[in-house]
Every structure is written in structure tokens, then in C-alpha cells.
């Protein structure tokens, strides 16, 4: 409101001024400043430097808001002797966790209620199944285990709270034959199973001895490996990873190739293209090289090369903008273009006259196509070789003779340059499709 | 009951930890034993009129030729040459062998160290993991019958050492005076069938050091026999005056005192090299000077490492080997737990570089898929008195108070139940 009044150049009504005090309405706030000035006297024994941290020369308070509401050093005295200390007494106690009622002594405050020994509640016992003589004779008799030995085993189970490893360790081997951990476990859980069945319990634990023995055997083998074996395993795992990576790379390349081909196929919607496609698919015999006519190639060039956007924007623009590679051309491709341009001795950025602009763009588009075709060719070559190896592996003794039209392609292509691309385009489809 | 928060409840129990080197005695809940008494007792015929405060007439030994014997216990009394005082150890193979002498030591502990009546304090004893049943029963009997203790408990020292390092499951490597042992502990119980021990301990190291020093022609006269000495230069012949004694000290006393002298040397000089001993590497380390009680001084170089090597270079008995063997004897399921907490304890493990070398030896034997972790307390007290500290902790825990074998139980069921009560 005050701002509005300022703008309107109205008189300030003195009584209506909005201040902090008028909102909060506390008188305490006003009383604060004098107290801070009072405490600015340096307390005795306080170092000057420390005091200067709290209050500087300008008598300003430190930028930190004081967090203690007390009066600093004045009231830090400990109040000693104000209260009577509570007494401790050396008193006897019994422990309900003990069966003998032995009496020990410990220190306790007489004020504390003499309640039950607090540690007795930690006295937990494992439930161990029991059996009577009659039950044993009726249900639990097994060859290889006498009643005495079973009793001994159950006693150990009680003593060691079912720690079977310790039970096996402390087994009385003088009276009874030596038993393994698994034997003892097996016997114990069988007894438990039978007893709980007799009592009609639904949940019955079973113990698979053979499985456990096998598991431990495996574990032992795992731990007993020598350093060389471990290294060998790691080496083999690394190799496996490499092989898988290579396989994936190859699959990816094949997929790219197929995409390229299908793209080229779908682009040409002339009737010639469709009946071209059918015989091509049927040609399983690679001896006859497939031919693609120039019309199709021209269309393929358009699709597979770089698509330069048409500048139809209104307004002024530099012609050199047209020569800029579109954003969808990858790093790899643009690098390839650069390299090729250098090989044929062209400038990377020629003067963009109308004619140069168009031709340069076309040239680069062709270059990209060439690159793609080259990589497709090498993939095909690789496929061909691997198929040949597969064939030879499956039919030992036989060798697959690859028709010269297929093998010599690479050399031909290398020698002939761009003019012979026509042959190349057709060939990838044969081994893959 | 202020201890509820930390689970402690102190009932004034005593902890005894007998060993070959010394007996550790003290109150439970304290961090160090009240006293460490050498595990040897000086015995001399009692024909002198003067009365030592620490002696007690021996009633049981009346049949021997001398009518009465005087017993000398604790360092101050042992280190003085006395006519025909023979020193005897009451320990053998980690177990108490001579019960009469042992009782003298316990008497002395109550009388001079604890200074309180035995019937007021429950007693927790440690024992070696291979202690025999009849010895345990005998000890139980003595404590209840002779000392009238209100309650008694017996724990394997390896388990106590594991407790002292905060572990209930551990592979405890205890390198003491007479032997080094590897003891697997599972949930506070020792796996007795997988205990492996070797006789390579501090005493063996001292023996080897003594052999070497004597071979070098160094005078090992103990300090107790030297009246005065002069400062001489390095490797010069020592100049000293012997105390004038009217008698010849006994052989056993001399042997003990020389052992102490060599022990000084061992603690000052000997170091375990990090890798198997190599003369060239050892030569690269700085030498350490040691002055013998006679005043003779010499720098020791590669010998320092060569001597310590006896603890590790044995194919079957090295500390790393016995640890791996012991773990290998345990169930496969607990091996990872054992390897992941290897507790090192015992006074001999304080030889410089011991723990480094052990962890190196052990890691080369650890199966590749397991994680090895060595737990070695840094302080000398914690390492030397590992099992005593564990006993001190155990006896002052609230939940332990139900475990004691009480006088009532002893009177009802006799000493044979010790095997059941204290596994």
C-alpha cells in the first residue's frame, strides 16, 4: 500500500505505518539490543582473538545468529553437591534361568525394584523332538543305528542346540562309529519327520542327504581349485565373452544389410521392380549373378545416400548452408566422406556456386552409398566364407567351390571403382535371404 | 543394573588364564589382568631361617628327602640367585601337569594379587583346546574342594581369544611360548577335531637365537649376576664385574635367566621378513644395535630375519600352513566364515612382522573364491592377554551368569559334569 501511496504522492498517515513491531506486537524485541551491548565486555580469561570472533570492533553482532540463550560464561558452573547421589549396594540375586538357584552378588541401586533377573529372558532353548521308548521301538528302529547311539545323538543335539557340525565334532567315537554331519542330520530329521507325522503335524521337514553330499562335494571342488585352474577359468570366460561380442556384431551387420536391401526394394514401386524381386528370391543358384537395372539403382542411390533438405524457407540464406551435411549423417559417415574427398583431391568446403553445390551434394551422397555397399559386400564375403567353413565342417572331405562371380567381386570392385557397383548390389541378397 | 544397556552384569568373578609363559590373573570386567605371574616356581630346601612372605609350607610333599620346601613365585623372587633353588614349570603341552606347584601359584594369586577370600568369587579358567578330561575334572575338584569357589567355569582359550576380538566364529591362530596352534571356533565352541598345532613358538625362537649368539661367542651372563659394567665400543670385549656369590646358581635357574636375556634380544632385534628369507633383501634393511647385560654391543643385520624364519619356513609346521590345514579339516560350509575372520593372538605373534608374513602365507593358501580377513589387535596387551581379556568379557556378561557350574551343582552331580557344562 505504501508503494501505491508513494506513486500517487499521497501524504503518509503517520499512525498507519506498517512496521515489524506493529505486526508482531512484541515489546521484547525492543529490549533485545541493549542486552547484546552489555555482553560485549570481554569475559576474563577469554582470549582476545576468540572474543574478536564473537564481537568485532564496530560493535556489531557477528553474522551468525547466536544459538545459546544463556549468558555465556556466567552460568557454566556445575552445581556440585546439590543432590544426594543415589546409593549402590552389593546385593545377592538369583537367576531364574538357572536350575540350581545359585546365589550370586552384583551391584544394584536399592531404589531399583528387585524384579526378575533381566537377562533371564534371553535364555532361549531350541525345541528338540523327543520320543519314548515305546515310540522308538515301534517307529524309529533303523539298521545301523542303535537306541544308545540315537540317544547320544539326541543329547548332543540338546547340548549344542542343533549345531550339527559341533555334534559331529563331539561325537563319542569310542563307543559309536564315526558319523558325518550329513549322517547325523539325516537321522535327526528322519526321527523328527516320523514323530511329527505321528503327532499329526502338517509341516514335515525332509532332509535330502544325497543332495547335501553332492553339494558339499561340489563346494569342496570349488575351494580346492589351484591358482592355475582359476586363471584358466577366467581366461576361458573372457574368451567366451569376446566370441559372443563378435557374434552380436556380425548379427547386427547382417540386420543392417537386410534393412538396406529391403529399403531399396520397397522404394522401387515400379512393376518392373516387383517382378524383378520374384526371380531374385527364387535364385538359389548363386552361379547366375543377379542383375539390377540402372533405374532401380538410381532410386537406391537416392534412398541410401544423403538426403539433403530442400531450402524452401522464406528469407535470405547462404548457399553454403545447402552443402552442410544433415544432422542424421553419423560421425562415421562424415569421416568417411572426408577421407574419400581427400583421396580424390577435392576441397572439403568448395566455393558454393549453384552448380558446385548440387554436384558436390550428389557426389557425397554417392560416396555414402558406396561406403554402405562396400560394407555390405564385406559382410557378404564374410558370410560366404563362414558358410563355406560350415559346409566343410559338416561334410568333411568335401570342399565347396564358390563360383568365381562371387569371389572375384571384391577385386573387381576395387579395380573398377564406381562404375561396377551395379553387380555388387545384387549379390548380398543371395547368401542371406 | 546399569549394565543392562551394554548387556554387562559384573558379579565379582575372577579370571585365570594359565599358559606356558605365565599365568594371568585378574577381575572380570577389567581390561587387563591384575598380574602376570611367570609360569615357573622356584623350589629350594627350606633350611634358611629367614621367612619370605610368599612361601607356603607344602604339606603334600613330606615324603621327600628334605623336610620342608620353600617356594619362590613371581618375577621379583625368581630373578634373584638363591642357593640350590631349582626352577620348575607346572605346565606341559599346554596343560597343567604339576598340580602341587600349580596350587602354590593359585594360593599366591589369592594371597598377593586378589587379596580376597576365594569363596566370594566365582572363577573362570581358560584351558587349551586339547585339554584332557581327567585334567579338567581335577581342576574342577581342586577349585571347589580346596578353594571353595561359589561357581566355576572352564572355557577353551581359543574361544576366549575370539570373543576378545569380537567374534563368535573365527579361526584362532595362537602363537604362544611353546607352540603355535590353529583352532577353529564356531559359535563360541571349539571344533576339537580340527585343531592343528606345531611346536614352533617363542621358546623355539629363543632357543635358536641362543644357539646363534653362543655360536657367535657372545657372553650371555644375565643381569642378575652382574655387579657393575663399563661402557665399551661396538664389538669390544665387555668389561664387567660379576656379583660375588658364595654359591653356584643351579642350572635350571641359569637356563631360565639366560632365556630371559635372549628374550630381551629377541624382542629388540628379531623381525620376520615379509617374504621368504632372502639374504640380499634382508641385507638391505637397517641394522639394529643390541646391548647385552654385560655391556657388549653389536649391530645385527640379516641375522634378524634369518632367525625369525624358523617360525615360517617349515613345510608342515609354519603358521600359515597349520591355519590352512585346520580350516581344511572343517566342514566346507563354515570355511568362508573361518577365512573371513582369522584372529591372531598370543605373545609370540608380537615378533615384528609376524602378522604381515602370516597374512601373506595364508592368502597364498586361501582358496581363490574366499575372502581372507586377518584380525590382529594392535595393542601388545590385547595380543598377549587375548584369552584373558575374552574371559574378562565373558564372565561379566549378564547372559553368561546362568552358565556357571555352581557349588550346589558340584555337590549334587560331582566333577564329571564339567564336560557337559563347559563344552
pLDDT in tens, A120-144: 888 888 888 888 888 888 888 888 8
Q: Quick check: A433 pLDDT over 50?
A: no
Nearest-CA distance B1 → chain A (Å): 6
Same domain, B189 and B320: yes
Phi, psi of B352 (to 5 degrees): -55, 135
Chain A nearest-CA distance from B43, in A, is: 38
| pLDDT value at residue A37 | 47
**How many C-beta neighbours within 10 Å does residue B184 have?**
31
Overall average pLDDT of the B231-252 stretch: 89
Counted domains in chain B: 3
CB A332 within 8 A of CB A339: no
> Is the CB of B5 inside 8 Å of chain A's CB atoms?
no
Kindly state the average pLDDT of the residues A192-215. Answer: 86
Kindly state the DSSP code that residue A168 receives in the 8-state scheme. H
Statement to judge: residues B208 and B138 lie in one domain? no
At B262-303, the pLDDT tens digits run 999 999 999 988 888 888 888 888 889 999 999 999 999 888
Q: pLDDT (tens digit, 9 = 90+) per residue, A59-101?
A: 555 555 556 666 656 666 667 777 788 888 888 888 888 888 8
Model pLDDT, residue B205:
92
B65 belongs to a structural domain: no
Report for A391-400, B40-49, B88-97: range of highest mean pLDDT: B88-97
B369 touching chain A per CB within 8 A: yes
Q: Decide if A165 and B330 are in contact by the 8 Å CB cutoff.
A: yes
Cα of B328 to nearest chain A Cα, Å: 9
Q: Is the pLDDT of residue B210 over 90?
A: yes
CB B140 within 8 A of CB B30: no
| Residue B94 belongs to a domain | no
b/e sequence B167-180, b meaning 16+ C-beta within 10 Å = bebbbbbbbbbbbb
Last residue of a domain, one of B311, B330, B359: B311
Alpha carbon of A195: minimum distance to chain B alpha carbons (Å): 27
Residues B243, B292 within the same domain = yes
Looking at the structure, tell me whether residues B180 and B323 fall in a common domain: yes
Rounded to whole angstroms, the Cα distance separating A42 from A56 reads 11
Q: Does B409 contact chain A (CB < 8 Å)?
A: yes
Q: Touching check for A68 and chain B: CB below 8 Å? A: no
Q: With contact defined as beta carbons under 8 Å apart, do A110 and A84 qualify? A: no
Question: What is the pLDDT at residue A135?
Answer: 87
Query: Which runs of consecutive H residues, i.e. helices, occur in B310-374?
Result: 319-329, 335-339, 354-365
For B339, the domain range is: 166-200+315-376
- Residue A44 to chain B, least CA–CA distance (Å): 40
- Domain presence at residue B123: yes
Residue in A closest to B366 by C-alpha: A223
Q: Do residues B226 and B293 share a domain?
A: yes
pLDDT of residue A268: 60
Q: Is the pLDDT of residue A420 over 50?
A: no
pLDDT score, position A333: 83
* Whether B217 and B261 share a structural domain: yes
ipTM of the shown complex: 0.83
CB atoms near residue A333 (< 10 Å): 17
Q: What's the grid cell of residue A289?
A: 549373378
How far is residue A318's CA from residue A324's CA, in Å, rounded to a whole number? 11
Question: Do B264 and B134 have their domain in common?
Answer: no
Give me the residue label for grid cell 603334600: B60
Whether the predicted pLDDT of A311 surpasses 70: no
The string of DSSP letters for B196-238 reads: EEES-SHHHHHHHHHHHHHHTT-----GGGEEEE----TTPPP
Interatomic CA distance for residues A180 and A187, integer angstroms: 11
Is residue A349 helix, strand or coil? coil
Cα–Cα nearest to B168, from B345, B412, B366, B337: B337
The 10 Å Cβ neighbour count of residue B144 is 23
Alpha helices in A118-208 (DSSP H): 133-135, 147-159, 164-169, 181-198
What's the whole-number mean pLDDT along residues A192-220? Answer: 87
Average pLDDT over chain A reads 75
Best CA proximity match to B290, nearest among B202, B201, B213: B213
Share of chain B above pLDDT 70, in %: 93
pLDDT at A241: 95
| Residue at B101 is within a domain | no
Residues of B in contact with A102 (CB under 8 A): 150-151, 404, 406-409
Q: Residue B66: what pLDDT?
A: 44
Residue B23, domain member (yes or no)? yes
Residues B353 and B392 in one domain: no
In this structure, the answer to whether residues B231 and B302 fall within a common structural domain is yes
Please indicate, yes or no, whether residues B226 and B286 belong to a single structural domain of this protein: yes
- Give the dihedral of Cα atoms A326, A332, A338, A343; nearest 10 deg: -140
State whether residue B88 is helix, strand or coil. strand
Say which DSSP state B109 is in: I
Task: Tell me if B37 sits within 8 A of B25, measured CB to CB.
Answer: yes
Model pTM score: 0.67
Place of cell 536350575: A99
CATH code of the domain containing B292: 3.90.640.10
Kind plus residue range of the DSSP H or E element containing A372: helix A354-394
Mean pLDDT, all residues of chain B: 88
As a whole number of angstroms, the distance between CA B139 and CA B126 comes to 11
Please compute Rg for chain A using Cα positions: 47
Give which of A421, A190, A406 is closest to A301, Cα–Cα. A421
DSSP A29-87: HHHHHHHHHHTTSPPTT--HHHHHHHB-TT-PBPSSPP---S-GGGG----TTSSPPPP
Interface membership of B372 toward A (CB under 8 Å):
no
Chain A contact present for B401, CB below 8 A: yes
Q: What span, in angstroms and rounded, lies between the C-alpha atoms of A259 and B303?
A: 77
Find, among A172, A204, A168, the residue nearest to A189 by Cα. Answer: A204
Query: Would B76 be classed as within a structural domain?
Result: no
A108 close to B (CB below 8 A):
yes
pLDDT score recorded for residue A341: 87
Rg of chain B over Cα atoms, rounded to whole angstroms, equals 23
Choose the final residue of a domain: B353, B376, B399: B376
Residue B2: the pLDDT is 47
Chain B residues lying within 8 Å of A106, measured CB to CB: 9-12
Query: Which set of grid coordinates corresponds to residue A224?
Result: 580346492
Asked whether residue B83 is assigned to any structural domain, the reply reads no
For position B132, which CATH number holds? Answer: 3.30.420.40
Q: Which domains, from first to last, does chain A contain?
A: 89-122 (no CATH), 133-224 (1.10.10.60), 294-407 (no CATH)
Tell whether B335 lies on the interface with A, counting CB pairs under 8 A: yes
Q: Is residue B103 part of a domain?
A: no
CA atoms within 13 A on the CB side of B99: 12
Angle separating helix axes B319-329 and B354-365, nearest 10 degrees: 40
DSSP letter (8 states) at residue B49:
S
Ordered alpha helix ranges (H), A92-180: 133-135, 147-159, 164-169
A385 Cα to chain B: minimum distance (Å)? 42
For residues B209 and B343, state if they share a domain: no
Q: Which of B401, B407, B408 to mutate to test the interface with A (most CBs of A within 10 A)?
A: B401
Per-residue pLDDT, A274: 41
**Chain B residues within an 8 Å CB radius of A230:** 368-369
On whether any CB of chain A is under 8 Å from the CB of B289, the answer is no
pLDDT tens track for A211-267: 999 999 999 888 888 888 888 989 999 999 999 999 999 999 999 999 888 888 777
Report CB contact under 8 Å: A223, B332: yes
Residue B193: exposure state from Cβ atoms within 10 A (0-12, 13-18, ≥19): middle
B252, B302: one domain: yes
- Decide if B11 and A105 are in contact by the 8 Å CB cutoff: yes
Indicate whether A346 pLDDT > 50: yes
* Pairing relationship of beta strands B189-190 and B196-198 according to DSSP bridges: unpaired
Q: Do B407 and A119 touch (CB under 8 A)?
A: no
Amino acid at each position: 500500500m505504501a508503494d501505491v501511496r508513494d506513486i500517487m504522492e499521497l501524504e503518509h498517515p503517520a499512525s498507519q505505518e506498517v512496521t515489524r513491531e506493529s505486526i508482531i506486537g512484541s515489546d521484547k524485541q525492543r529490549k533485545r539490543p541493549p542486552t547484546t551491548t552489555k555482553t560485549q565486555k570481554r569475559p576474563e580469561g577469554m582470549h582476545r582473538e576468540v572474543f574478536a570472533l564473537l564481537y568485532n570492533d564496530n560493535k556489531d553482532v557477528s553474522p551468525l545468529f547466536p544459538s545459546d540463550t544463556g549468558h555465556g560464561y556466567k552460568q557454566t558452573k556445575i552445581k556440585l553437591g546439590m543432590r544426594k547421589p543415589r546409593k549402590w549396594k552389593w546385593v545377592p540375586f538369583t537367576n531364574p534361568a538357572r536350575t540350581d538357584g545359585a546365589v550370586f552378588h552384583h551391584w544394584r541401586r536399592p531404589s531399583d525394584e528387585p524384579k526378575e533377573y533381566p537377562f533371564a529372558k534371553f535364555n532361549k532353548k531350541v525345541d528338540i523332538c523327543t520320543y519314548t521308548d515305546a515310540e522308538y521301538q515301534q517307529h524309529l528302529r533303523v539298521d545301523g543305528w542303535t537306541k544308545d547311539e540315537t540317544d547320544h545323538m539326541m543329547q548332543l543335539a540338546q547340548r549344542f542346540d542343533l549345531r550339527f557340525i559341533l555334534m559331529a565334532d563331539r561325537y563319542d567315537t569310542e563307543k559309536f562309529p564315526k558319523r558325518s554331519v550329513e549322517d547325523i542330520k539325516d537321522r535327526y530329521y528322519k526321527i523328527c519327520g516320523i514323530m511329527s507325522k505321528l503327532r499329526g503335524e502338517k509341516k514335515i521337514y525332509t532332509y535330502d542327504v544325497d543332495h547335501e553330499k553332492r553339494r558339499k562335494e561340489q563346494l569342496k571342488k570349488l575351494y580346492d581349485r589351484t591358482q592355475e585352474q582359476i586363471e584358466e577359468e577366467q581366461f576361458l570366460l573372457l574368451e567366451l565373452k569376446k566370441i559372443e561380442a563378435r557374434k552380436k556384431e556380425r548379427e547386427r551387420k547382417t540386420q543392417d544389410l537386410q534393412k538396406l536391401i529391403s529399403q531399396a526394394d520397397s522404394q522401387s514401386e515400379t512393376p518392373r521392380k516387383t517382378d524383378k524381386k520374384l526371380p531374385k528370391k527364387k535364385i538359389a543358384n548363386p552361379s547366375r549373378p543377379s542383375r539390377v537395372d540402372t533405374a532401380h539403382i538410381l532410386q537406391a542411390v537416392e534412398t541410401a545416400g544423403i538426403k539433403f533438405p530442400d531450402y524452401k524457407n522464406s528469407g535470405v540464406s547462404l548457399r553454403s548452408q545447402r552443402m552442410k551435411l544433415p544432422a542424421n549423417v553419423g560421425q562415421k559417415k562424415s569421416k568417411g566422406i572426408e577421407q574419400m574427398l581427400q583421396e580424390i583431391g577435392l576441397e572439403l568446403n568448395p566455393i558454393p556456386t549453384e552448380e558446385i553445390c548440387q554436384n558436390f551434394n550428389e557426389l557425397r551422397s554417392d560416396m555414402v552409398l558406396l561406403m554402405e555397399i562396400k560394407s555390405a559386400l564385406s559382410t557378404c564375403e564374410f558370410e560366404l566364407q563362414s558358410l563355406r567353413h560350415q559346409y566343410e565342417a559338416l561334410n568333411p572331405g568335401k570342399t565347396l567351390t564358390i563360383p568365381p562371380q562371387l569371389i572375384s567381386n571384391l577385386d573387381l570392385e576395387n579395380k573398377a571403382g564406381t562404375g561396377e557397383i551395379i553387380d555388387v548390389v545384387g549379390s548380398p541378397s543371395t547368401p542371406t535371404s | 543394573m546399569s549394565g543392562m544397556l551394554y548387556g554387562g552384569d559384573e558379579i565379582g568373578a575372577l579370571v585365570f588364564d594359565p599358559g606356558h609363559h605365565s599365568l594371568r590373573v585378574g577381575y572380570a570386567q577389567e581390561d587387563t589382568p591384575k598380574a602376570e605371574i611367570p609360569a615357573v616356581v622356584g623350589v629350594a630346601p627350606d633350611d634358611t631361617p629367614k621367612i619370605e612372605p610368599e612361601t607356603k609350607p607344602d604339606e603334600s610333599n613330606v615324603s621327600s628327602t628334605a623336610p620342608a620346601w620353600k617356594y619362590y613365585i613371581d618375577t621379583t623372587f625368581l630373578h634373584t640367585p638363591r642357593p640350590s633353588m631349582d626352577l620348575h614349570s607346572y605346565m606341559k603341552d599346554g596343560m597343567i601337569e604339576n598340580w602341587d606347584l600349580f596350587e602354590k601359584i593359585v594360593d599366591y594369586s589369592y594371597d598377593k594379587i586378589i587379596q580376597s577370600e576365594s569363596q566370594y568369587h566365582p572363577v573362570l579358567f581358560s584351558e587349551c583346546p586339547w585339554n584332557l578330561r581327567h585334567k579338567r575334572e581335577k581342576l574342577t575338584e581342586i577349585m571347589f574342594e580346596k578353594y571353595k569357589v561359589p561357581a566355576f567355569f572352564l572355557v577353551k582359550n581359543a574361544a576366549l581369544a575370539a570373543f576378545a576380538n569380537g567374534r563368535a566364529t573365527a579361526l584362532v591362530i595362537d602363537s604362544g611360548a611353546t607352540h603355535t596352534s590353529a583352532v577353529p571356533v564356531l559359535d563360541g565352541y571349539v571344533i576339537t577335531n580340527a585343531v592343528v598345532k606345531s611346536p614352533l613358538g617363542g621358546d623355539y625362537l629363543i632357543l635358536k637365537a641362543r644357539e646363534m649368539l653362543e655360536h657367535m661367542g657372545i657372553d650371555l651372563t644375565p643381569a642378575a649376576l652382574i655387579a657393575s659394567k663399563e661402557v665399551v665400543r661396538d664389538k669390544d670385549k665387555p668389561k664387567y664385574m660379576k656379583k660375588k656369590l658364595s654359591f653356584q646358581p643351579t642350572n635350571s635357574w641359569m637356563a631360565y635367566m639366560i632365556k630371559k636375556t635372549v628374550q630381551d634380544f629377541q624382542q629388540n632385534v628379531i623381525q620376520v621378513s615379509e617374504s621368504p628369507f632372502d639374504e640380499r633383501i634382508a641385507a638391505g634393511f637397517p641394522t639394529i644395535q643390541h646391548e647385552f647385560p654385560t655391556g657388549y654391543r653389536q649391530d645385527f643385520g640379516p641375522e634378524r630375519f634369518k632367525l625369525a624364519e624358523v617360525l615360517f619356513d617349515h613345510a608342515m609346521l609354519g603358521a600359515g600352513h597349520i591355519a590352512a590345514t585346520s580350516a581344511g579339516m572343517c566342514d566346507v560350509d563354515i570355511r568362508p566364515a573361518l577365512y573371513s575372520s582369522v584372529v591372531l593372538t598370543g605373545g609370540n605373534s608380537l615378533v615384528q612382522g609376524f602378522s604381515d608374513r602370516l597374512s601373506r602365507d595364508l592368502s597364498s593358501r586361501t582358496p581363490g573364491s574366499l575372502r581372507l580377513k586377518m584380525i590382529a589387535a594392535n595393542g601388545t596387551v590385547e595380543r598377549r592377554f587375548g584369552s584373558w581379556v575374552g574371559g574378562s568379557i565373558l564372565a561379566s556378561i549378564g547372559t553368561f551368569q546362568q552358565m556357571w557350574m555352581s557349588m550346589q551343582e558340584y555337590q549334587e552331580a560331582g566333577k564329571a559334569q564339567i564336560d557337559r557344562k563347559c563344552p
